Amino acid sequence: MRGWWVVGSALLLVGVLVIALRPPAEPATSAPSRAGEPVSSEDLEGRRGALVDQVVFTREADVGRVTGLIEAGSHQLFTQGISSPTVFNRLRDSLATGYDIAYGTYSELTLNPAGPELADGTLNPFHVPAIREALNRLIDRRHVAEEIFGGLAVPRLLPLSTAFPDYSRLADVARELELRYAYDPVAAGQVIHDEMLALGARRSDGQWWYAGELVQIKVLIRTEDERRRVGDYLSNLLEDQGFAVERRYRTAEEASRLWIATDPMAGHWHVYTGSWISTVIMRDQAENFSFFYTPRGRAEPLWQAYQPTPEFDELADRLQRRDYRTLAEREAMMASALALAMQDSSRVWLVDQINATARAANVQVAVDLAGGLAGSALWPYTLRYTDRVGGEMVIGMPALLAEPWNPIAGSNWAFDRMITRATQDPAVMPDPFTGLYLPQRLIHAQVTVEAGVPVTRTLDWLSVDTAERIEVPAEAWLGWDQTERRFLSAGELHPDGLTTRTRVRVHYDEALFERHWHDGTRLSLADFVLPWIVDFERAAPDSALYDVAHLPTFEAFQRHFRGWRIVSEDPLIIDIYSDQIYPDAESMVAARAPNPIPWHTLSLGVLAEQRGQLAFSSNKADRLGADWMSLVAGPSLAVLESLLEEKRQTQAIPYAAVLGPWVDGQAANRRFEALARWHGERGHFWIGNGPFELEAVYPVEGSVVLKHFADFPDPADKWLRFASPMVPELELDGPLVVEVAPPTGQNGAAVEAMGGAEGLEGAEFRLTVTFEGQAYSAEAIDAIQVLLFNGRDQLTHRGEAESTGEGNWRIRLSPETLTALGVGANSLELAVTSKHVALPVFASHVFATVPQGGGEQPR
């Protein structure tokens, strides 16, 4: 990235953030493939899968050491986004390093909603939505962005990323809410005071008391990054409001044992300095409300403690299912959900971060514009040295093995998921710059939607058509009979027939079942079917796999799921019927296309949970008093090893009535023998089919080793076309002063114009859109949204720009539009979206309106 970049910002509230970025240093060629030349296509000929032979992940939480470690040659990459200006400047100025920028990391305050009295009888003020809501006005997000994050962040108030398309689509709604919840510590303090009195607390000598004890707030503060200062800043604010504050400084692993793994009623924490990463560009953020504010989000105890209002819960559920008929209806629902989310405020959003990920100058990798390196789906396929093929790389990350790994309800930490992603080979892959999905193990997809349903496609690897009526075939699997252990068909459950809004038909690679798992066994249809069975079993109260924490998610799924049918076994073609839609057909395919999990490793976990020895989820592990299942480390391994030996003796097939057609005794024997060899050599049970296999896990030392999987089928250069994102560069120019009709009323304060706008010329503004000095094609621009705000921060006009040639655009404001602004300072704001990148880019121009004939004015 080079030059001056205008990056996503909260419109007007935060203004436009511009940062100067020097291009990364030219790649070094210390060990060239041929006499100083970079790697060529000839060098890659015959290479399959990953472009390096081995990747070693090590724990390194101190970002201040990043540049030095790369310069010393001990590390080649770091996954943690750098948001410290000091560290970023050091990285930028080093000739040995390069960097990539990502916009998908965001920080927030997670609040404990339990109470009002916790298990120990103490008061939890954050049980009250009004107090949570008041925190939004207590916090100065501009201070957080500019002082704590040193300008490498932009304020964020809403559960929408300011860097994703939904924010620009809902810019006027976002603007109104940002004004409503703008920094106002006096108003916030008054609400907190009134609500505390209503709870029965009293204030004495400047402090709050309840039941004879000081009201104490335990702030769980992460120590590895800027969140330490965020936690201290918040603690100071709470102390100013009269609360006693205990600052609990913890690392990622230490903190997760409290805020995720314990019952909120236990009172181990009241506020947690949270941070999240969107691993892909989220073109549709409608699911955020269900995920962050309802029990449907995750299985952990915190989520099960959420109690959204019935109105908010229903709206969040509808948005998750995409229960709307038009995009206009969707926008209205999103606007209502945003307002309700702010009233709930189980989370208080702080900033969207602008993160740099560090790498050696002679290293290249496809980095996601949202998720950075840690969130990139393509990193395992594109990580390489520019001057050679193969070799080893060392990647530092702030935490790894933070939570147990299992394929059903295991670790959701970004850094754990980055490693496991390299061992998997999904059906589709997200474009790192647009968020649109591309085929990996699919060759085609057909999307059929009910007439009038708002779904469109952008890419030509799939098709979209409409039908007046979509009927679900009677033989499609729709439910599960836990007693008989078999699927129930749509015909059994709906003898009069069943219709649906969508059908997605996915066609897999014809050579799919010639592919191998890492232990050498071939994929089978059982690898696709068993995960579906487990999903249904975990929601069946009579099943030994039943998990009450899974129920909200499953119930949300059931409200839109309408069936699953295997159309062809080889080549594999599957139909999925659902009432849930996505605006992008590509996202619909990604949400529907099943991905395999090796049935033999999954069956060990199933048996362990059925016997109460281990549990897939942390929630169930707590309730059973068992270990949270890990396939790679800890006490789980001894349990799984014992069960594997039992399986080798019995060759027992799980759910044999369903899986029997694809797994016989011989196949089961091959699988379990291969797994035993794998475990004997590597000491764990994690098997995948991706470009890397999990070679070794060292939990005590804090390292994980991945090894190139030689049998991966794809050419090594398959995904190398993803190099630099074409983020538009904007330059907006126009008059600084514009004449409008003079105001009427006392002292000229009224905004209504006298005599209209006759005789006025209006105003024209010019926008130049480029990339690396070249004009940005008008055809590549998706939309340029024009927003005009008056001096009272009111949106007075919304429109679009007009193209005047490649890279040049014009915005015309009529005399009537300008006169409606009144006299004073105004702001013209532009939100530009491109077809090459989904990241909206913002520009603004401030100008004054003065009365017509008001004398000479500077221009």
Q: What's the confidence (pLDDT) of residue 721?
A: 87
Do the Cβ atoms of 653 and 666 come closer than 8 Å?
A: no
d(CA 731, CA 166): 23
- The secondary structure of 641-695 as a DSSP string is HHHHHHHHHH-PPTTHHHHTTT--HHHHHHHHHHHHHHHHHHSS-----SSEEEE
pLDDT score of 510 more than 80: yes
117, β-bridge pairs: 123
Classify residue 38 by its DSSP letter. Answer: P
| CA distance between the termini of the chain | 34
**Tens digits of per-residue pLDDT, 820-829?**
998 999 999 8
Nearest to 446 by CA among 468, 427, 461, 429: 461
Per-residue pLDDT band at 476 (split at 50, 70, 90): very high
DSSP sequence for 613-649 = SEESSHHHHHHHT-EEP-SSSSTHHHHHHHHHHHHHH
pLDDT in tens, 280-317: 888 899 999 999 999 988 888 899 999 999 999 999 99
Is residue 252 over pLDDT 90?
no
Strand partners, 506: 445, 574
Q: Within 13 Å, how many C-alpha atoms sit on residue 839's CB side?
A: 28
* Residue among 340, 339, 400, 392 at smallest CA distance from 31: 392
Separation between Cα atoms, residue 575 and residue 554, nearest integer Å: 20
Say if residues 22 and 92 touch (Cβ distance below 8 Å): yes
Nearest Cα residue to 788 out of 851, 850, 846, 858: 846
Average pLDDT over the chain, rounded to an integer:
89
Task: Decide: helix, strand or coil at residue 255.
Answer: helix
Place of tokens 């909200």: 552
Residues 52/58, Cβ–Cβ less than 8 Å: no
DSSP states along 700-712: TTTEEEEEE-TT-
Short-list 212, 214, 208, CA closest to 196: 208
Mind listing the pLDDT tens digit for each residue in 836-854? 888 888 889 999 999 876 5
pLDDT tens for 159-185 read 999 888 888 888 889 988 998 999 999
CA dihedral (188, 191, 193, 195) positive or negative = negative
Distance CA 503, CA 448 (A): 5
Compute how many other C-beta atoms are within 10 angstroms of the C-beta atom of residue 386. 18
What pTM did the predictor assign? Answer: 0.79
- Phi then psi for 349, rounded to 5 degrees? -75, 145
Q: List C-alpha distances in Å: 66 to 63, 74, 397, 469, 652.
A: 5, 10, 10, 58, 50
Which domains, ranges and CATH numbers included, belong to the chain? 3-102+357-397 (no CATH), 105-281+345-352 (3.10.105.10), 425-689 (no CATH), 729-851 (2.60.40.1220)
Distance separating alpha carbons of residues 794 and 323, to the nearest angstrom:
31
Whether the per-residue pLDDT at 53 is higher than 70: the answer is yes
Beta bridge partners of 581: none
Predicted confidence at residue 543, as pLDDT, reads: 95
* pLDDT tens-digit series, residues 555-584: 989 989 999 999 999 999 999 999 998 889
Least trusted range by pLDDT, from 621-635, 696-710, 764-778, 781-795: 781-795
**At residue 440, does pLDDT exceed 70?**
yes
CB neighbours (10 Å) of residue 705?
19
pLDDT confidence bin for 833, thresholds 50/70/90: confident
Residue 70, amino acid: I
Largest CA distance in the chain: 97
For β-strands 202-204 and 207-210, DSSP reports them as antiparallel
User: For 352-391, how does the pLDDT look when each residue is reduced to its tens digit (9 = 90+)?
Assistant: 998 889 999 999 999 998 888 988 999 999 999 998 999 9
Residues 804-830 have a mean pLDDT of 91
Separation of alpha carbons 454 and 445, rounded Å: 18
CA distance 412 to 40: 37
CA distances from 401 to 595, 627, 630, 632, 837 (A): 23, 15, 10, 9, 33
| Beta carbons within 10 angstroms of residue 53's beta carbon | 15
Q: Assess whether pLDDT exceeds 50 at residue 463.
A: yes
Give the pLDDT mean for 793-806: 88
